[in-house]
Structure 1
Amino acid sequence: MRTALVIGTGLIGTSAALALAGRGVRVHLADHDPDRARTAAALGAGTDAEPAGQVDLAIVAVPPARVADTLAGAMRRGAARGYLDVASVKGGPRRALTALGCDLSRYIGTHPMAGRERSGPLAASADLFEGRPWVLTPTPGPDGGTDTEVLNLALELVALCRAVPVVMDADAHDRAVALVSHTPQLVSSMVAARLRDADETAVRLCGQGIRDVTRIAASDPGMWLDILSANPGPVADVLAEIAADLADTVRSLRALESASEDERGGGAAGIEDVLRRGNAGRDRVPGKHGAAPATYEVVAVYIGDQPGELARIFADAGRAGINIEDVRIEHATGQQAGLIQLMVEPRSAEGLTEALRERGWSIRR
C-alpha cells in the first residue's frame, strides 16, 4: 500500500491516518467539514489535498447512516482500487450498498474494536489500534464476493495499525457488538443518569466502583445515537434479557424485606444466583494480551498526588525485578492522595510488598 484516502477525520479515521502516515503511506484526508481535515493534516495524519489519481485504499470513517452513500460516491468516481469502512455496525451498510447497486467485490466491511470517550481528530492517536481486535467481514460468495486483492489491502491496513485481524460474518458481528459494546454504553449511561438529580451528599461518596461503571457514560450522545440507530434490534434483544434479570432481582430484593423467613431465603438465593452468574461471565473476559483470564495478587499502595510518584513506584518495582501485570488507581475524594493497586503474579506479591516497604511506601492490606 503506497497511497490511501481517509474519508472522515474523526477519532478513528484520523488515528488510522496517523498510523499509516507514520509507516510511509501517503494519506489524503477528506471530511464534510474542511476544518477537521485541516486539523488532522496539521497533526501529521496526511494531506488535505485531493489525490491526483486513484489511491490504493479508501477508508470510510463516517457515521453508520452515511457509510453507504459515502462509499457509493467514492466508488462512482473510481477513487481507489479497494474500499472499506470502519463503522461499528456491518450488516446494515452492506445491505444498503447492495440496494444501491454497488460492486461489493471491491469492498470489505471492517470494525476496529478501539475507541475513547472523546471524539474528533484532536483525540486521535497513531497507537489507538495496537493489539486491539480489528474485525473483517468479507462478503461471501464466488460471484460478487470480496476480491482477494481487497481483502489483502484490508489485512495490510490492520498490520500497519498493529491491530489483530478477526474474520466474522457481518450479522454475527452486529449481534456480538450489541452485547460487548453497545449495551454496556446504554447501561453505563442509565446508571450515570441516576446521579444527575442525586443529593450532593450521595455524589460526594462516589468511589472507584461508580467511576468504573460510569466511565463510558462520558461519551458523545450524538455519536452513540448514530451507532444505536444502526443496530437497534440486537441491542434491544440484549437489553430485554437484562430487563428480565432486573425484574427478578427487584423481586428478590423486595423479598429480603419480608417478614417471612421463606421469602427472605428465596430472595437471598435469587441475589446470589445473579451474582454468581456475573462471576462466571466476568471470568470469560479475555485477560492480558487476549489470553485466558489470569488471577493476579493485588498489592495496594498509598500514593500522593504529585509529580513523579507513579514513575517512582514503577521504578522501585522494576528494581525488585517484578513485572507489573496491570494497574488501577483509586482516587480519594477531597484528598491529594489515592490508592494504587498493582496486579502481579501471585508468587511475586510478597517480594513486591517487602521491596516497596523497604523503600518507604505505605502498603495497605
Structure 2
Amino acid sequence: MRSALIVGTGCVGTSVALALRAAGVTVHLADADRNALRVAVCLGAGSAEPPAAPPDVAVLDVPPDDVAPTLGRLQKTGAARSYTDVAGIKLLPQREALRASCDMTRYVGGHPMAEPEHAGALAAREDLLRDRPWALTPTEATGTRALNDVLELVALCGATPVLVDAARHDDIVARTIQLPYLLKELMSEDAAARHPLADRGRPPARSASPAPEPWGALLAGNADAVLRHLGALDTGIHEAMAALEPFASAEGGTGTGLGTETETETETETDAERAAPALRRLHALLARGAERPAPTPVRAVGTVAVTVRDAPGELARLFADVAAEGVSVRDVA
C-alpha cells in the first residue's frame, strides 16, 4: 500500500492515519470540520491536500448513517481504489449502501474493536489498534482486490482481521458493548451509584462517559439486536427476582421472610426446610455462567491447498468459508 485517504479525523480515523504514516504510507486527510482536520494535520497524521491520484484505499470515519452517502459520493468521483469504514455497526451501512447502488465490489465494511478513552483526534494513538481485533464484513459481491487492500490496511495498523457476517457482528456488539453501556448509564442515575462507597474496590475509571450523541446513533441503528438482548436480560432479571424473593425480609414488603430471625429451634428448622428449595433454585441460577464451557482454541491439524479463480468475489467467499469453520485468517497463507 502506497497511499490512503482518511475521511473523518476522529480518534479512530486519526489513529489509522498515524499507524499508516509510521508504516511509510502517504496519507491524505479530509474532514468537513476544519478545526478537527487542522488538529490531525498538526499531530502528523497526514496532509490536508487532496491526492494527485486515487489512493489505494479510503477509510471512512463517519457516523453509521453517513457511511452510505459518503461512500456513494466518493465512488462517484473515483476518490480511491477500495473503500472501508470504521463504524460501530455494520448491517445498517451495508443495507443503505446497497439501497444507494454503491459499488459493493470495492467496499468492505470494517469495525476496529478499540476502546479509545476520549473522542477526537487528540485522543488518537499510533498503537491504538495494535493487537486488537478488527471486524471485516465482506459480502458475496466483495472483490478480491478490495478485500486484499483492506486486509493490508488492517495488517499495517497491527490489528487482527476477523471476518464475520454483518448481522452476526451487530448481534455480538449489541450483547457485549451496547447493552452494558446502556445499563451502566441507566444505573448511574441511581443515587447509590454516586455514593463514595460505590467506588470501593473498583479500579479507577478510565474516562468520563462518552458523549451520548454517537452512542444514540449506534443504539438506534442496531435497535433490533439491542432489544432482543434486552428481552433476554429481562427474562433473566425476573428469574433472579423470583429466586431471591423467598429470602426477602417481611419488613421489606415482599417474600416470606425466610431470612428473618426465629424464636425457637423448631421454627428455625422449619425455616431451613422451607428455604432449601429456594436456595437450590438460586444456586442453579448462579451456576449457569460457571457451567458454560470455555471457548476451545482452534488448533491447526494440517495444511489444505485451495485454488482460487481470478474472478471478483472469489477470495472474499474463501475467507468467509474459512471464518465459518472457526479458522483464524492469520492461519491462511
On whether the aligned pair clears a TM of 0.5, the verdict is yes
Q: 1:84 to 1:94 in 2, by over 3 A?
A: same
Quick one: structure 1 residues 178 and 108, their matched pair in 2 at CA, closer, same or farther if it must change by over 3 Å?
same
Other structure's SS at 2:237 match: helix
Q: 1:185 to 1:285 in 2, by over 3 A?
A: farther
Contact 2:187–2:193 (Cα < 8 Å) also in 1? no
Q: Compute the TM-score of the two structures, normalised by the length of structure 1.
A: 0.71
CA deviation vs aligned residue, 1:174-212 (integer Å, no higher than 9, x gap): 111111221121122223232xx3397x43452234x58
Q: What is the alpha-carbon distance in structure 2 between the residues aligned to residue 61 and residue 205 of structure 1? A: 36
Alignment correspondent of 1:248:
239
Task: State the 1:291 CA deviation.
Answer: 9.5
Q: Give the number of equivalent residue pairs.
A: 279
Are residues 259 and 129 of structure 1, via their aligned partners in 2, closer, same or farther at CA, if it must alter by over 3 Å? same
Distance 1:131 1:111 in 2: 14
Which of 199, 203, 212 is the matching residue for 1:206?
A: 199
TM-score, normalised with respect to structure 2: 0.77
2:117–2:123: 8 Å Cα contact kept in structure 1?
no
1:176 aligns with 2:167: no
Within-5 A mapping of 1:233-312: 233-257=224-248, 258-259=256-257, 261=271, 264-280=275-291, 284=294
Amino acid at match of 2:284: D
1:263 to partner: Cα distance: 5.7
> Which one of the candidate residues 164, 183, 187 is aligned to 1:187?
183
Aligned Cα RMSD in Å? 2.4
| Equivalent of residue 146 in structure 2, options 150, 162, 174 | 150
Q: For residues 199 and 39 of structure 1, do their structure 2 counterparts lie closer, same or farther at Cα, with a shift above 3 Å needed?
A: closer
For residues 92-148 of structure 1, give each alpha carbon's deviation from its aligned partner in whole angstroms, at most 9, with x where no partner exists.
1111011111110011111111122411111111111111111111111xxxx1111
Alpha carbons of 1:64 and 1:266: their partners in 2 closer, same or farther (altered >3 Å)?
farther
Distance change (3 Å), C-alpha of 1:74 and 1:263: farther
Q: Aligned letter for 1:230?
A: G
Q: Structure 1 274/118 Cα, relative in aligned 2: closer, same or farther at 3 Å?
A: farther
| Counterpart mapping for 1:1-365 below 5 A | 1-140=1-140, 145-194=141-190, 197-198=191-192, 202-209=195-202, 218-257=209-248, 258-259=256-257, 261=271, 264-280=275-291, 284=294
Question: CA 1:57–1:199 in structure 2 vs 1: closer, same or farther (change >3 Å)?
Answer: closer
Identity rate of aligned residues, in percent? 39
SS at match of 1:102: coil
> Which region of structure 1 is more displaced relative to structure 2, 8-17 or 113-122?
113-122
Q: CA deviation at 1:215?
A: 6.1
User: Which has more strand, going by share of residues?
Assistant: 1
Provide the secondary structure at the position in 2 that maps to 1:80: coil
Gaps (5+ residues) in structure 1? 293-365
Quick one: structure 1 residues 29 and 148, their matched pair in 2 at CA, closer, same or farther if it must change by over 3 Å?
same
Look up the match of 1:324. Answer: none
The answer to whether the 8 A contact 1:104-1:146 is kept is yes
Question: Against the structure 1 CA distance between its residues 239 and 159, is the aligned structure 2 distance closer, same or farther, given a 3 Å change threshold?
Answer: same
Structure 1 pair 160/248, CA: closer, same or farther in 2 (3 Å)? same
Distance in structure 2 (CA, Å) of the matches to 1:247 and 1:232: 22
Unaligned runs of 5+ in 2: 249-255, 259-270, 300-333
Going from structure 1 to structure 2, the CA distance change for 1:30 and 1:89 (only over 3 Å counts) comes to same
Letter of the 1:78 partner, please give it: G
**CA shift at 1:275, angstroms?**
2.5
| Aligned-partner Cα distance in 2 for 1:75–1:139 | 18
After TM superposition, give the deviation of residue 267 of structure 1 in Å.
Answer: 3.7
Relative to structure 1, the CA distance from residue 168 to residue 205 in structure 2 (aligned partners, 3 Å threshold; closer, same or farther) is: closer
Distance in 1 of aligned mates of 2:146 and 2:284: 48
Deviation at 1:89, TM superposition (A): 1.1
Higher relative contact order (CA closer than 8 Å, sequence separation 6+): 2
